[in-house]
């Protein structure tokens, strides 16, 4: 179960807003310092490890840049959104960022509410209101990858890459 403070974002949040292009080749720890700086300057100084992003529809639209890696480095506990761009969702799985599509979630939360997410049950609960929503179930293999930290830890555990190789290739 994931529990964290909700931060509201709207519809069609693109990867350029999440991780601006000038910072996408920096190490992930430095990328994290620039998340959402174009549309919410100073937000990275307010967000805490374990906090939750609540998005509208089509969250993560745009390029295939590895924005979930920067969100992970920032310590985001989970992304829940009315809908998540399919390529962005796959990048969430690959980089081990907990993410769940949950229609109606953006209307069910105000910024600052506390979200309780159970990925295996695809459920989201607003602890302030008690409202519980059911999201789109995540296939077991993808859930295992997501919860296991992504593709690189899996490849390492199977001996397919050496220890210490991370998603940035270093």
Domain boundaries, the chain: 2-157
Checking DSSP bridges between strand 52-55 and strand 2-8, what pairing results, if any?
A: parallel
CA dihedral 153, 156, 162, 166 (to 10 degrees): -10
pLDDT digits (tens, 9 = 90+) for 36-51: 998 999 999 999 999 9
Domain 2-157, CATH class in plain words: alpha beta
Which tokens in the block code for residue 69? 């890696």
Mean pLDDT of the chain: 92
Q: Can you give the pLDDT at residue 130?
A: 98
Residue 61 DSSP SS3: strand
Q: Is the confidence at residue 135, as pLDDT, over 80?
A: yes
Query: Rounded distance, CA 101 to CA 129, Å?
Result: 20
């Amino acid at each position: 179960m994931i529990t964290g403070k909700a931060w509201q974002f709207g519809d069609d949040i693109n990867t350029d807003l999440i991780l601006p292009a000038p910072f996408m080749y920096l190490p992930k720890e430095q990328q994290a310092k620039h998340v959402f700086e174009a549309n919410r300057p100073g937000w990275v100084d307010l967000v805490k490890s374990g906090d939750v992003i609540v998005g509208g529809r089509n969250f993560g639209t745009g390029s295939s840049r590895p924005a979930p890696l920067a969100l992970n480095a920032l310590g985001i506990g989970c992304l829940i959104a009315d809908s998540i761009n399919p390529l962005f969702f796959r990048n969430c799985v690959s980089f081990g960022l907990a993410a769940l599509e949950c229609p109606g979630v953006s209307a069910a939360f105000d910024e600052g509410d506390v979200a309780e997410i159970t990925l295996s049950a695809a459920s989201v609960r607003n602890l302030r209101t008690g409202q519980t929503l059911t999201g789109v179930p995540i296939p077991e293999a993808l859930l295992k990858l997501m919860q296991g930290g992504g593709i690189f830890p899996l490849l390492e555990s199977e001996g397919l890459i050496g220890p210490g190789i991370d998603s940035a290739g270093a």
